[in-house]
Structure 1
Amino acid sequence: REAYHTEAEHVYVITLSSHLSGSYNSAVLGMNLYREKYGKKQIHVIDSESASCGETQIVKKLVELEEQRLSFEEIVKQIEEFRSNVHTYFVLDNLETLRKNGRLTGVKALVASTLNIKPIMAGDKGSIVQRGQSVGMKKALRRMAEIVLEEAGDTKERFLMITHCNAPDRAETMKKLLMEKAEFKGCLIMDTRGVSSMYANDGGVIVTV
């Protein structure tokens, strides 16, 4: 509630996918409590339906929209549409955290860990779905790049973001694989942070376009 207590006229909150975390519900509750105590304010809580660089994509777009001096209502409309068109993909070395938290419905976590099969996963309206699989991380990264290019469509107006958990070489490999085959508005590589690091575990790579 108190985090909303700011001089900013427009307040935005971008949370981890509501399918992975309770942060979206907490943010909405905080907004409602703020309005009860302090009155109405232009606040919008956005379920990223993603994580890590998926949230960063939304932040970057919000800054662009605010710099255009659009109305709050128009920004809300455009950012919700933008969010729905962000594609999220990832490959993890270790699926245990996701498995223990019940976030891997439909993904063969145990088979993956015992046979070194790496599922290539994606976000589908915030839920995790499997797009493919490969034996070993190198092949998995190549396959993920192929899937990204197959599904992202025209990438010239899309910004490529890659986050990694202690795996900068893998992130650079993904960047190379994608930028050799497609043109993007730009590319940003970052470390994971917070709960996204916990889910990704050492070696995880996340791609959003």
Structure 2
Amino acid sequence: MAIKVVTDSTSYIPYHLREEYDISVVSLGVTIDAETFREEDMDNEDFYVRMAQAKSLPTSSQPAPREFYQVFENKLRENHDVVGIFLSSEMSGTYSTALMVKNMLLEKYPAAKIEIVDGRSNSMELGFAVLAAAKAAKAGQPMEEVIAQAKYVMERSRFLFVPDTLHYLQKGGRIGGAAALLGSLLQIRPILTVIDGKTALLSKVRKKERALQEIVKIFLTDIEQKGLEDAVIHHINFPREAQALAEQLAQRTGRVIPVYSIGPVIGLHVGPGTLGIAYYTKEKRD
């Protein structure tokens, strides 16, 4: 018997790490021009080409309950316990569906141990918590410690990102049309983060270059004060610029910082050209 960790596709954990730590993934869905796909089955670059050509803005959907059921039940049949860590409940119904499926399975397997954790974020801010839990599980730690390791990271993590345009935020209803128009005219770029499980505005500056300089400054200040455990550069269909940012931060920190692409579900809400930094520190953030 072992503990197996399950997450969803918006964690964007690279496949080699999923394999190394035996992390299972349930997939959210994307609908584009009346066709629906599992995010896990889509190539990121192909999706953003299709999104640019789409007649309307694509939409996303939570994983199907049957996919949760199959993944969880497969672990239970192998006599394993399950810890599921999922996309923030403030951003999606994924977490609540996981809870529903847990209760269904406990009726069939009353002795099963299934714990569901609200990851309170997405992308690798979520992924770092998942990885921490999976490492503890692989090391043979008990359920309580596996969950504690995930929460340890969640208390120390941060995700800062800068969209290239306000178009997708406005289309998705996250900012008003007037604000988007004014922001575009004035070249205002918001610096976004995640607070209490929701996407939130951290600050606004003129021009994207200055916004990127600001998130670098915030990142460097955080790690100077609290130490750095791990970090990644995230991008939405913007690989060259993301690599340049990673190289800049490598020079400043003396550490190699990997570059990970953000997939369709989060990408369609924020838009191509987005750059960001997801990281967590040694000491707890205020």
Shorter-chain TM-score bucket reads 0.7 to 0.9
Aligned to 2:44: none
Alignment of 1:189-200 (within 5 A): 189-200=259-270
Aligned to 1:57: 128
1:52 Cα deviation after fit? 1.3
Report if aligned partners of 2:161, 2:275 keep a CA contact under 8 Å in 1.
Answer: yes
What residue identity is the alignment partner of 2:127?
T
Aligned to 2:195: 124
Residues 1:9 and 2:80 aligned together: yes
Alignment of 1:1-209 (within 5 A): 1-6=69-74, 7=78, 9-103=80-174, 109-152=180-223, 153-156=225-228, 158-184=229-255, 187-209=257-279
CA offset digits 1:117-156 (Å, max 9, x no partner)? 1111111121222222232222211111111222343334
Aligned-partner SS, 1:21: coil
CA offset digits 1:97-127 (Å, max 9, x no partner)? 434444459xx54433332211111111212
Compared with structure 1, are the counterparts of its residues 12 and 155 closer, same or farther at alpha carbon in structure 2 (3 Å cutoff)? same
Compared with structure 1, are the counterparts of its residues 3 and 68 closer, same or farther at alpha carbon in structure 2 (3 Å cutoff)? closer
CA distance in 1, matches of 2:163, 2:243: 16
CA distance in 2, matches of 1:82, 1:140: 26
CA distance in 1, matches of 2:252, 2:263: 29
Larger radius of gyration: 2
CA distance in 1, matches of 2:126, 2:98: 15
Compared with structure 1, are the counterparts of its residues 84 and 99 closer, same or farther at alpha carbon in structure 2 (3 Å cutoff)? farther
CA distance in 1, matches of 2:109, 2:170: 41
Aligned-partner SS, 1:5: helix
1:76 Cα deviation after fit? 1.2
Unpaired stretches in structure 2, ≥5 consecutive residues:
1-68, 280-286
Report if aligned partners of 2:233, 2:259 keep a CA contact under 8 Å in 1.
Answer: yes
Q: How many residues align?
A: 205
What residue identity is the alignment partner of 2:264?
G
Report if aligned partners of 1:104, 1:128 keep a CA contact under 8 Å in 2.
Answer: no
% identical equivalent positions: 24
What residue identity is the alignment partner of 2:268?
M
Unpaired stretches in structure 1, ≥5 consecutive residues:
none
CA distance in 2, matches of 1:41, 1:161: 35
Report if aligned partners of 1:57, 1:161 keep a CA contact under 8 Å in 2.
Answer: no
Report if aligned partners of 1:155, 1:182 keep a CA contact under 8 Å in 2.
Answer: no
Compared with structure 1, are the counterparts of its residues 34 and 113 closer, same or farther at alpha carbon in structure 2 (3 Å cutoff)? farther
Report if aligned partners of 2:160, 2:278 keep a CA contact under 8 Å in 1.
Answer: yes
